[in-house]
Amino acid sequence: MGRGTTADVTAPRPAPTLAGWLTLGLAALSIGALMVGPYGLTPGEVVAALVGRGDPQAAVVVWNIRLPRVGAALLVGAALAAAGASYQALFRNPLVSPDILGVSAGAGLGAVAGIFLSLPVAAIQLSAFAGGMAAVAVVAFVASLVRNTDRTLTLVLIGVVIGALAGAATSLLKVMADPYDQLPAITFWLLGSLAAVTSGDILPALPAVAAGLVPLALLRWRINVLSLGDEEASALGVEAARTRFLVIVAATLITASVTALAGVVGWVGLVIPHIARMLVGPGFGRLLPASALIGAGYLLVVDTLARTMAQIEVPLGILTAVIGAPFFVWLLARGRRGWS
């Protein structure tokens, strides 16, 4: 809902102020996340460490241990939510998540293959990224071979098929993997975690995510038009097939990059765009930044919980599912209104 039903013609668009509030909230959440952990810090200590003063030990905790993880959570959350918003507009379906075209299944297979072959961490990440991109490329290629007037439906169905195939291959590798060493690593990776992330892991993902976000931001009006469907978008002057291809490449690049970094983190790309749509409406120009900001904050909270709520690290995928599933049921119970 949101501004959609307000009939005041002169009402100012709430987006800029909202973006300000969201950014402010995100900064507060980040400082909060930097405070908590086995070595507790006060807000003052965190700020002092960030500006290069205060206790050297606090500075080490903030800069070397917590900041990479906070940064990774922000990046992954923003990326997944932005990609989810894009896929939902593209597939004209508010129930779509970024793994609709098999990117998560492909990245999972890539990572699992890397772990199975005992590759170094960087190679596993590269393999996950390549797996995600390759899965979507295969989906797009196979869909182009199928003669069907409904291109979107074809893509989704082929996505399901390729995703299932990749899932089967992943299961096979799990059966063959060393149950004491490799299998726990595989399971943990498939549920998503930022426990092992370092600043060296984030740096390659950053430009890839940015490279995906730029075309999405530039095409924001055309993505609105595309959400009317191919036929109408074409009649309105959009080269639908080409634009859709661009959006898929951009959103897949974003998803594959952060999946390589964090493993398979579900639900964020599905749920967050809904919340953003409730706040700013369906216009993609506002939906994209709102989704990214809310997604960043959401995953930061979830990841902070994951590392502090228990003695062991709780996988992110478990927490996002536990939070996301009831929320989603609530959305459905609200009926169509919940989609807005």
> How many residues bind to another protein according to rule CB under 8 A?
40
d(CA 33, CA 29): 6
Residue 53 or 92 with smaller CB distance to another protein: 92
Among 38, 40, 149, 175, binds another protein (CB under 8 A): 149
Give the CA angle between residues 306, 131, 138 to the nearest 5°.
130
**55 vs 58: CA distance, rounded Å:** 5
Q: How far is the CB of 222 from another protein (least distance, A)?
A: 7
- Helices assigned H by DSSP within the chain: 15-35, 43-50, 56-60, 67-90, 103-116, 121-145, 151-176, 182-191, 199-218, 220-226, 230-235, 240-262, 268-280, 284-308, 316-333
Site for another protein in 186-225 (CB under 8 A): 218-222, 224-225
User: DSSP secondary-structure letter at 131?
Assistant: H
The residue (of 311 and 336) whose beta carbon lies closer to another protein is 336
Which one among 94, 163, 289, 297 touches another protein, defined by CB under 8 A? 94
The minimum distance between CB 250 and another protein, in angstroms, equals 13
Q: What character string, x for contact with another protein (CB under 8 A) and - otherwise, covers 6-25?
A: xxxx----------------
Is the separation of the CB atoms in 267 and 97 below 8 Å? yes
235 to 264: interface string for another protein, x by CB under 8 A? xxxxxx------------------------
Q: How many CB atoms neighbour CB 334 within 10 A?
A: 11
The least CB distance from residue 170 to another protein, in Å, is 32
> Does 339 interact with another protein (rule: CB under 8 A)?
yes
Is 262 in contact with 193 (CB distance < 8 Å)?
yes
Residues that bind another protein (CB under 8 A): 1, 3-9, 89, 92-94, 147, 149, 218-222, 224-225, 227-228, 231-232, 234-240, 277, 281-283, 285, 336, 339-340
